[in-house]
Amino acid sequence: MTATATAAVDRSVHTAAPRRIPLTRIVGVELRKSFDTRSGAWLLAGIGIAAVVTTGAVIAWAPESEFTYSQFTLATGFPMSVILPIIAVLSITGEWSQRSGLATFTLVPRRGRVLLGKAIGAAIVAAAATVVTFAVGAVGNVIGSALAGTPAVWDLDTADAGRFTLGTLLMVFVGFGIGALVRNSPGAVVAYMIYAFVAPGLLAFLAFNQAWFRDARPWVDFKHDQDALLQGGSLTGEQWTQLAVTSVVWVVLPLSVAVVRLLRTEVK
Amino acid sequence: MISVDGVTKRYGPFTAVDNVSFTAAAGRVTGFLGPNGAGKSTTMRVIVGLTPPTSGTAHVLGRRFADLPNPGLEVGVLLDASAQHAGRTGREVLILAAQTMGLPRTRVAEMLELVGLTGDEASRRLGDYSLGMRQRLGIAHALLGDPEVLILDEPANGLDPAGIRWMRDLLRGHADRGATVLLSSHLLHEIEVVADDLVVIGHGRIVAGGAKSDLLATAGIQVRTRYPDRLTDALVTAGVSYTAPRPAGPAGEGTDGRPCRTLRVDADAESVGRIAHRAGVPLIELRAADGARLEDMFLELTAATQRDPRRQGAIS
């Protein structure tokens, strides 16, 4: 504990003007921040554990006729669709709830760059998760059909993979938007849960009982359109339009409002 | 160098910072002094761009903070040592910052050693840190990029006496090597010991500012003698004013039974010496009077804005 040791770095090192922090570095730091905490590590572990457990469950309990690539991938994809948006939520809310934003936004005062880094990081996580889903699904498919003594059914193509990736990305950005809007970890997670699990049930109930809503639902229910993407099968032109409309209303608009507010607000 | 120009921050009808202007110069420690809730933290947050001011501007090294390309290398900031993710280890917090600034990983180990955090402590999570450990980590975080400006909000909080002494030496050393150090505190003694310049804030307004030596300078000579009556007569004849504080008790008794009195004279030492010499008064002591301690000044300046209601009437 001596003060003299401070002189470790020569002041002349900084005679050259510092260069702007590259975006790639911000992305790297933000990715690391998503998984270097206890909660982050558990969420990551949870994805792996859930993928293995659900694959095992399909092999153990599903009828052999359902031992197809799409079934395995769907089973693995479901827990991931729950966890990934929460990672996106926490990547933003943690800066406020845990107050690490004080350090983050003084090291990178251009907040838009931090947000962009977080968004790219979330997209990378979503893409990596898609790869894992298809890989674990393939392994499950091979093991399952081998155990059943039937030839493995490979019923997914690259278009399916593309739709799945898009669906996962949209989900992650819903989490991102809710996180940026609410900026409080428990509040944002609850809001996401309501969006992902409570609202779809209510809307389905409404559609079941009210004929007028049955036709309108695909134009307003974003989760409904998202699920169409995730559950495989090609979408009709009308379905793509519906997805685009609901994406703008439920992702682009809230995210824009949230980002504008976040750039101006006080970081406490 | 830090310059704050006419910064005002309002929250609805409440004005937290009211037209604050000051500069913190390179090579000097500037103490930012004020009672709780005076606006110190808000001002510092405006300087580093976390709080948008209602009006006014703040510049660090001639630029707005947001325009610094890699601020960590130029400005070390510690606003709140507890404001870190409780689930991260101390080392991880520094690694993230080093990675953001583009510094080698070895710098993290150097800083941990500098602030006296052991490898074992660095591997613990922030949630398990004491306030003193967080403060040390926060200082390591601020020093990581070897910045030429330091902005520290109450860095002595939670440090033990040895830690406070260590930090004082560290800040002094930094300023002596040409750095600009702005440090806030409500601990008067801490600031008085380390600061070169002072900015005193109360109720969101700057109430005093300048070099510590100027602010603490008081006119007057303290003189002690066993012949106070002859001396005061001579002073009056010479037209020099003086005050006579109460006698210092039995210790003032001399061997011949004459009491020893202290006077405070409004003149320079040489004049007082001449007057005493001409009057034939032997002096026991002749020196510059003790300055009014910064504490007195601080209490005086901020009394009107103190939270303690007993002080309200004293000044106003």
Nearest to A37 among B71, B88, B169 (CB): B88
Most confidently modeled range among A73-87, A120-134, B129-143, B271-285 = B129-143
Q: What is the number of structural domains in chain B?
A: 2
Please give the Cα distance from A144 to A141 (Å, whole number): 5
Give the per-residue pLDDT at B218.
61
pLDDT, average across residues B273-295:
81
Contacts of residue B311, Cβ cutoff 8 Å, sequence gap at least 6: B299, B303
Which of B157, B189, B210 is the last residue before a domain boundary? B210
Please report residues of A whose CB lies closer than 8 A to that of B73: 14, 18
Please give the Cα distance from B113 to B132 (Å, whole number): 15
pLDDT, average across residues B217-242:
84
What is the percentage of chain B residues whose pLDDT exceeds 90?
59
pLDDT band at A15 (very low <50, low <70, confident <90, very high): low
Q: At what angle do helices A111-148 and A23-35 cross, to 10 degrees?
A: 60
pLDDT, average across residues B49-69:
96
pLDDT, average across residues A90-108:
93
Considering the domain architecture, whether residues B205 and B261 belong to the same structural domain is answered as no
A and B: number of Cβ contacts within 8 A = 128
Please provide the average confidence, as pLDDT, over all residues in chain A. 86
pLDDT, average across residues B219-247:
83
Give the per-residue pLDDT at A88.
92
Considering the domain architecture, whether residues B128 and B252 belong to the same structural domain is answered as no
Nearest to B99 among A17, A29, A109 (CB): A29
Considering the domain architecture, whether residues B165 and B46 belong to the same structural domain is answered as yes
Contact assignment for B66 to A110 by CB distance below 8 Å: yes
Give the chain A residue whose CA is nearest to the CA of B71. A107
In a domain, B299, yes or no: no
Which of A42, A87, A106 is best to mutate for the B interface (most B CBs within 10 A)? A106
pLDDT band at A235 (very low <50, low <70, confident <90, very high): confident
Considering the domain architecture, whether residues B132 and B226 belong to the same structural domain is answered as no
Please report residues of A whose CB lies closer than 8 A to that of B77: 106
Does B291 have pLDDT greater than 80? no
Contact assignment for A109 to B68 by CB distance below 8 Å: yes
In a domain, B49, yes or no: yes
pLDDT, average across residues A128-141:
90
Considering the domain architecture, whether residues B96 and B206 belong to the same structural domain is answered as yes
In a domain, B296, yes or no: no
pLDDT, average across residues A10-19:
59
Cβ atoms A176, A118 nearer than 8 A = yes
Please report residues of B whose CB lies closer than 8 A to that of A21: 69-70, 100-102
Sequence-distant contacts of B102-106: CB under 8 A, at least 24 apart? B102/A21, B102/A25, B102/B70, B103/B144, B103/B145
Give the per-residue pLDDT at B138.
96
In a domain, B300, yes or no: no
Question: For chain A, give me the number of helices (H) and strands (E)?
Answer: 12, 0
Contact assignment for A98 to B174 by CB distance below 8 Å: no
Q: Put the strands of the sheet holding B205-211 in their side by side order.
A: B75-78, B149-153, B180-185, B29-33, B197-202, B205-211
Contact assignment for B45 to A14 by CB distance below 8 Å: no
Q: At what angle do helices A69-97 and A158-182 cross, to 10 degrees?
A: 20
- Nearest CA-CA distance, residue B236 and chain A, Å: 53
Please give the Cα distance from B77 to B48 (Å, whole number): 8
In a domain, B55, yes or no: yes
Considering the domain architecture, whether residues B136 and B59 belong to the same structural domain is answered as yes
Hey, CA dihedral for A163, A168, A172, A175, is it positive or negative?
Answer: positive
Does A1 have pLDDT greater than 70? no
Give the per-residue pLDDT at A11.
46
Which of B153, B183, B210 is the last residue before a domain boundary? B210
Q: How many CA atoms are closer than 13 Å to the CA of B291, on its beta-carbon side? A: 12
Considering the domain architecture, whether residues B149 and B46 belong to the same structural domain is answered as yes
pLDDT tens figures, B162-197: 999 999 999 999 999 999 999 999 877 778 889 999
pLDDT tens figures, B22-32: 999 999 999 99
- Nearest CA-CA distance, residue A211 and chain B, Å: 49
Give the per-residue pLDDT at A10.
43
Nearest to A3 among B65, B69, B169 (CB): B169
pLDDT, average across residues B132-149:
95
Give the per-residue pLDDT at A78.
84
CATH of residue B63 = 3.40.50.300
Using CB atoms within 10 Å of the CB of residue B132, give its burial: 0 to 12 exposed, 13 to 18 middle, 19+ buried: middle
Chain A interface residues (partner B, CB cutoff 8 A): 1-9, 11, 13-14, 17-21, 25-26, 28-29, 32-33, 36-40, 94, 98-103, 105-110, 264, 266-268
Please provide the average confidence, as pLDDT, over all residues in chain B. 87
Q: Are strands B75-78 and B149-153 parallel, antiparallel or unpaired?
A: parallel
Considering the domain architecture, whether residues B140 and B39 belong to the same structural domain is answered as yes
Give the chain A residue whose CA is nearest to the CA of B50. A267
Structural domain of B109 = 2-210
Cβ atoms B155, B32 nearer than 8 A = no
One-letter amino acid identity for B105? R
Q: Indicate the range of A197-201, B9-13, B57-61 predicted with least confidence.
A: A197-201
Considering the domain architecture, whether residues B182 and B261 belong to the same structural domain is answered as no
- Nearest CA-CA distance, residue B170 and chain A, Å: 5
pLDDT, average across residues A45-70:
87
Does B309 have pLDDT greater than 70? no
Considering the domain architecture, whether residues B189 and B244 belong to the same structural domain is answered as no
- Nearest CA-CA distance, residue A7 and chain B, Å: 8
Does A14 have pLDDT greater than 60? no
The ipTM assigned to this model is 0.86
Contact assignment for A6 to B82 by CB distance below 8 Å: no
In a domain, B197, yes or no: yes
Considering the domain architecture, whether residues B63 and B165 belong to the same structural domain is answered as yes
Please report residues of B whose CB lies closer than 8 A to that of A14: 73-74, 146, 148
CATH of residue B257 = 3.30.70.2250
Give the per-residue pLDDT at A8.
40
In a domain, B298, yes or no: no
Please give the Cα distance from A60 to A143 (Å, whole number): 11
Give the per-residue pLDDT at B256.
60
